[in-house]
A and B are shown apart, each in its own frame.
Chain A
Amino acid sequence: MQYDTLATSDTPALIIYALDVSGSMSTSMSGKRRIEIVTDALTAALQQMVFRCTKGSVISQRYLIAMFAYSDQVYDILGGIRTIDEVAAMGVPELSPQRSTATDQVFLAVEEMLHNNLGHLQYCPAPLVCHMTDGEYTGADPEPIVNRIMSLGNHDGNVLVENIFISDNILTQPIQDPYNWTGVLDNSRLRTQYAQKLQRMSSRIPESYRVMMAESGYAIQPGAYMMLPGVNPELVQMGFVMSMSTPMAQ
């Protein structure tokens, strides 16, 4: 459970994105629609993944990607799990806001995907689920499902769950500089009950991820939760950087 398995083409790292495309994602933040900020951050993350995986002109299949978008329904954007080179060939999907926020449904779909594929990934880095949302769920409580997901795992460790919560109303103290922010810790004060729920639904950052984040210039502290308040585009991007911080062979 060290989360130190290197992502290679033989042992790729699975990252499952669960993206909230509810209607509120069309509201603006920092002069842009939230959905556009998420798309930009997702594009940057995919570019960074390809950057890391490219040797010469060949993309080494070190990442496996799955993407769910959810509103009142769940959509499998990529049609299952795809290798990073396949995702690069597809390009970044354009997302459009929908209606409600059926968070439980997307986590059910994620759980099912993990059940179907964990057998193939026993010697790979522990899969990571990156959930991005901007509002409370409108369906059933997703926490029990997330707890089940976090209890799954492979030789590298339990499945990691990260939450990017796009909201101004999470922390009592604003984050001045993302690069100096230490992360959501046990003693961090969260304003809303839903933020506290998301904290419970988030894994603690493994040390190997934290080191990779530090190499990217971030100051996340040991023991921090994999939960980011997306109050601006920089923090949303930071969340996506965290999702791809699997240790990787150079």
Chain B
Amino acid sequence: MSDDLSAVIRPIAQAQGLPNAHYTDPDTFAEEREALLFSQWAGLATASDVPEPGDAKPIEFLGTPLLLIRDREGQVRVFHNICRHRGMILVSEPRKIEGAIRCPYHSWCYSTQGKLVATPHVGGPGMNTHDGIDRTTLGLIEVPSHIWRDVVFINMDGTAAPFAEVHADLIARWSDFDTDLHHGGGDSTFTLEVKTNWKLAVENYCESYHLPWVHPGLNSYSRLEDHYNIEAPGLYSGQGSILYRQIRAEDGTVFPDFPGLPEKWQTAAEYVAVYPNVLLGVQKDHAFAIILEPRGIEETAEHIHLYYATPHVDEDLRRANAALWKTVFEEDIFVVEGMQKGRHAPGFDGGRFSPAMDGPTHCFHAWAADRLRARRPMAAE
């Protein structure tokens, strides 16, 4: 199958989009898992998923069983969810770890920091040490992780530069919002199961071109001409609006603003896809994070979380806000599922971009193509 990525990285006016194989072919999916997800800082979950010390949540990420846990000192960590003895799954459902993580098979025990603290009967009945078992070398396998804006980013293969270094540009861009985020709780999180490749969800999110057609309800207060493209090659892309209008209850109630924001954010908002799989939005009175969980080549779960400036906000307004965003994100489903089906048409050549409107999407495609090309033998193209 032809997979010429050189066309993807041309200037946008001449570029083609990623070929169909990148949305339909199992081998390409496996290649992208390594090049675009495991070798980068990918979004896994939120720190709010494990709010208290000892909270543990098993999560499968692209086939790898992981354990998200907040250790006794309050630090969020990610481990391979397996015992170093026989590879048994350690934690099979979300729960509180009161003391140690005990493997349900032979009861090897680990601290919440991942240290192997007990190996019962390893030297024979009632003998709990053996010269051949060095516990200091058999702790849980930890995956490098970093929390930013409550999102737990992980670097599965351990090759990425530190998160703060990789994303210094975006962290600086949004430094005005470097303040406490308060998750809205159970009614401010929802998951959408979508029959699409994860990349199409990124591509749709980061451009504003589709807004007047797919989200006509936004036209009244968020017109296309009020948007601008955001493009940071190799890092992130998205869209901004110069006319953000906050949600308001009939009695005039609004959410409190994040503290200390410069005047420009009174009417501005930005929506950015942090490559590979995290979609973020910032506005003066609330923010959101969407973690795209690739469950298969053509299957993605979108985990949406809404955040506020204070621990408690008006309950009815909070619910209305979640319902509003859910409507918006659901309006996108037919688009990403339709594009996914379209990728099975042999005649589709990756498509052409609007040089004026599709810059953020092309930026993402070029990022993907660059990373794939860097890992391929020269003769492959």
A binds B: no
